[in-house]
Structure 1
């Protein structure tokens, strides 16, 4: 019994030690706390049991905070040490922002002071709120163009100042893209200025200071008369649409100064649409137009000339003493040449009509092919000028050349072609034959010219031999390229033939009651089948004292159509008489 009691006491003591180490809550204690619960302030978590956080949890949370702290430190160091200057610059830019002050582009006038291209004024709202974004904040003057037809290839168009993706201007000037806008760009664009703008955190302008004021572009006055330009263009368009020509071009030049009164090409694009580029559909329509409205046919269009080269061949024959102007050539609608290899085979070179007996003046007036076959290549007892002399004399009037020193580059004509044995050898690796000379003598075969070349040549014919550089700037000192040293009497013979052509010949469409014109028409056959032609009319007025030369071509019409360039020039003459009669007042 005593042994059992000692064992019980021992177990009780051991159990007491365990309770002291990990004391459990007795049921009666729980009930006591529950009964006293109303006395605790629950908002302060009184009466709640708490359990200590394990050390492992503390270590995990501490490690996480340490990683975050290191990351923040590394990022801060990167921003300050590596990218500090970049962020500093960005911060300063947000506070002090440089902005361009765009220079007003120079105004373009026609010869009479009519506005052709100018800068639209700021919006009307700027008068009451000069700090609006449309006014003081990067206001870009909008380019405006006259709605007069025919001016697009003369004026061209511009590209506005350009921003990068960050809103900063990398191009602070207008850029001329074509025509006078491009080739007088350095004079027209002026120089952009700059200012420093202080803005607040919301981007509002607090103050501004001009660092450099803009320099206005220079104004230019063209030699072009916008009335004549429009009259000529409208006539080209009218004839092309009525008859079916694919295009046309015309040039009118002062034969004493080289100033261009009109230079136009049909069809044309819109300078306004190309500058604004807001109407994307319209821009694409012009770019895809099969009529090629961006081709300046007056300058870049190369055409077979046909009979309009005959006056220069005629004056060459007179100067070379090949023929007397009064000598009669018996034409019969063709010349026939036996083959040198087979005498039984005969080649016929046909005229457009049997014109009978002709002297030089009437041959020019009636545009006889048979006469100029004879004079150009020789036939029967009449010695010919020969291809080398044809090349020489045509070249003296600027055909087949690009020598136009001092002229803006967009007026440089294409070189053109006068066919020669050397040209044929280089192009086809073939020998030259007499038939090639005959065809070349009437402006066929390999011939190519531009309307600009032709107006320069006919201007030299009109003024008795001074080849001038064409210009589109009014008041420039005339630039003489060369002088054709041929007797005045020989020029008179050709003048008389061209005047006769207007009175009774192939240029009779120019026979108007209020002015005396001298003219030479041409119909150049195209391709192997010769189903299509280029139609030409060239000449000058007034006949007695030439002042203006002209060249007009209609492109790719039907060979059966009689209406062409002469009809377009006739329409132009009557329109000028109504809208610009001073061009005929000296008669």
Structure 2
């Protein structure tokens, strides 16, 4: 059977199919070639800088250069905080292949405890910028450096960096005033300027170091280095030098600070001294202190636990956070309040039978001298520390006017300009009590406030500041710790300074000062033994703050009480009266009468400042304190 040829093959149709397929294949090849060429142009031209940078990073990297922290000096240029060379152990996670294995090896080489090893792991996980080293350990010793150097080939990503580390020559004495720096933690990393703090491992944590962190820190720099395949630096290609932090000169006087600490002799307490005219804090001591250098490199758990559990609370800054009843130290302030409000005149007298009674109340609010002082005017009330006079004055003023006038001296508020962590303490009011306890204010509570007891709480800095305002005859100069930043003086016109006190008669200040001078020089003065041999005119006021309340007919007997239940001793003073150069507040916890156990300390501070005595006999002063029988109980 024969088939027709055209039914088996159609040359024309096959030709058309071939041409279509050839055209499609050509278009496909051209399209793919175009895409390839476009991608190549995109990579080589459009994204040239990006890939060039990535390529460059294979051999060149940028490293941050931390700035040198500014130094801190006292008012005379004596160094209080310096930077010493040290070696730190750092880890760059991006260059570590086996993080856990590397940490295990480090623990073995450095012979770390379990707690230290855990701290290592926490620091290694702390979030950093890419290729920024994390600080694992500070202040390596020579033996540790040797172990790490021998095993360097086994520790990729681990480096030993030479850096400057903060050091405090007088750590224990200056710890609370200066504060300290410590490692930057994870929370701080979230808020810090990453560029400014690049390569920085430490930041101010407390005190002056914290308040002036922006001044002391400086600005980080950078350097460009060439590295080999293992990441080791071969050479430096360029750098931008860091800007060092500014130096800080404080108002503190190191010698006066040391004297204040020695005078406290390990007792719990605080001494604050201020120059009234300028607000310069000359000394601000809290005892006991602690070694702040431990916190710079990272204090170990056992040492930190010991500080926290110490019954004397060495970490607690009593100078700015300790809250104490002011006791009779506030009587000169109350006298001025009475004069300003017209409640008393300097010559008005009362008869003191040894107690005071509110109208229609049988309770007797007793004077410390149970048989009373007889006729008492304002000056004598200060000199003998008469309670009855101030019960009467407080009742006449009332808590509202008392609160207003005492707030004008700085009580119940933060008074320092650059004092980080200061407490406002408490100047009570009827609104405060209703908000705190949901109760009304009672007249008897006003009487307690009138002798510096009850709810009223002050800090040593507040008491010293109020004394400086008193010495300035009502002129406010806000206390400060910094006098110079590099060569620029800190302005005396500080923000937040309260208004000056206005009085109708300038002679009122003289009358109050006269009463304060009689505290030390009068034959009835509560601190007359302390005033013996004074070479200048000094005004002061003793105070005794009760730790717990006594019943109406109970008598205070220190010998029958546990040491920590005994009264606090307080004394405030300024000198010389005619031209005040120093105002001092002293608080010694559980020491007893302020005229016996605090007045001598204030006298020693004013002697050292005004007479420029280089070496006071501290032992003689302590013996005088112990043997003093010329003061009166309860004041």
Normalized against structure 2, the TM-score is what?
Answer: 0.67
Once the 2 structures are TM-superposed, how far is the Cα of residue 149 of structure 1 from its aligned partner?
A: 4.7
3-state SS, counterpart of residue 410 of structure 1? coil
Once the 2 structures are TM-superposed, how far is the Cα of residue 367 of structure 1 from its aligned partner?
A: 0.7
Please provide the CA RMSD for this pair: 3.2
Once the 2 structures are TM-superposed, how far is the Cα of residue 327 of structure 1 from its aligned partner?
A: 2.6
**Partner of residue 176 from structure 1, selected from 204, 221, 228:** 204
What residue number does 1:357 align with? 375
3-state SS, counterpart of residue 269 of structure 2? strand
What residue number does 1:113 align with? 77
Matches for 1:191-206 after TM superposition, within 5 Å:
191-201=219-229, 204-206=232-234
Deviation per residue, 1:471-496 (Å, 9 max, x gap): 11114222353110012111111111
Rg larger in 1 or in 2?
1
Asked whether 1:376 is paired with 2:385, we answer: no
What residue number does 1:521 align with? 542
Once the 2 structures are TM-superposed, how far is the Cα of residue 523 of structure 1 from its aligned partner?
A: 0.7
Once the 2 structures are TM-superposed, how far is the Cα of residue 360 of structure 1 from its aligned partner?
A: 0.9
CA gap of 1:204–1:420, structure 2 versus 1, over 3 A, is closer
What residue number does 2:410 align with? 398
3-state SS, counterpart of residue 519 of structure 2? helix
The 8 Å contact of residues 464 and 585 in structure 2, kept in 1 or not, is answered as: yes
What residue number does 2:575 align with? 541
| Structure 1: gaps of 5 or more residues | 1-87, 126-131, 241-246, 341-345, 378-383, 582-587
CA gap of 1:154–1:339, structure 2 versus 1, over 3 A, is same
3-state SS, counterpart of residue 258 of structure 2? helix
Matches for 1:440-519 after TM superposition, within 5 Å:
440-474=449-483, 475-479=489-493, 480-486=497-503, 487-504=505-522, 505-508=525-528, 510-511=530-531, 512-519=533-540
The 8 Å contact of residues 468 and 478 in structure 1, kept in 2 or not, is answered as: yes
CA gap of 1:216–1:580, structure 2 versus 1, over 3 A, is farther
Once the 2 structures are TM-superposed, how far is the Cα of residue 518 of structure 1 from its aligned partner?
A: 0.7
The 8 Å contact of residues 570 and 594 in structure 2, kept in 1 or not, is answered as: no
What residue number does 1:9 align with? none
Once the 2 structures are TM-superposed, how far is the Cα of residue 560 of structure 1 from its aligned partner?
A: 7.7
CA gap of 1:296–1:277, structure 2 versus 1, over 3 A, is same
Asked whether 1:292 is paired with 2:313, we answer: yes
Cα distance in 1 between the residues matched to 2:450 and 2:543:
13
Deviation per residue, 1:503-523 (Å, 9 max, x gap): 131233541433332101111
What residue number does 1:310 align with? 331
Asked whether 1:550 is paired with 2:584, we answer: yes
The 8 Å contact of residues 568 and 593 in structure 2, kept in 1 or not, is answered as: no
| Structure 2: gaps of 5 or more residues | 1-51, 88-141, 143-148, 153-158, 190-196, 484-488, 551-555, 557-564, 617-635
CA gap of 1:274–1:514, structure 2 versus 1, over 3 A, is farther
Deviation per residue, 1:134-176 (Å, 9 max, x gap): xx97422111112265211121111247899xxxx97525311
The 8 Å contact of residues 572 and 602 in structure 2, kept in 1 or not, is answered as: no
Number of equivalences: 461
Once the 2 structures are TM-superposed, how far is the Cα of residue 357 of structure 1 from its aligned partner?
A: 2.3
Cα distance in 1 between the residues matched to 2:283 and 2:358:
45
What residue number does 1:408 align with? 418
Cα distance in 1 between the residues matched to 2:517 and 2:297:
48
The 8 Å contact of residues 467 and 483 in structure 1, kept in 2 or not, is answered as: yes
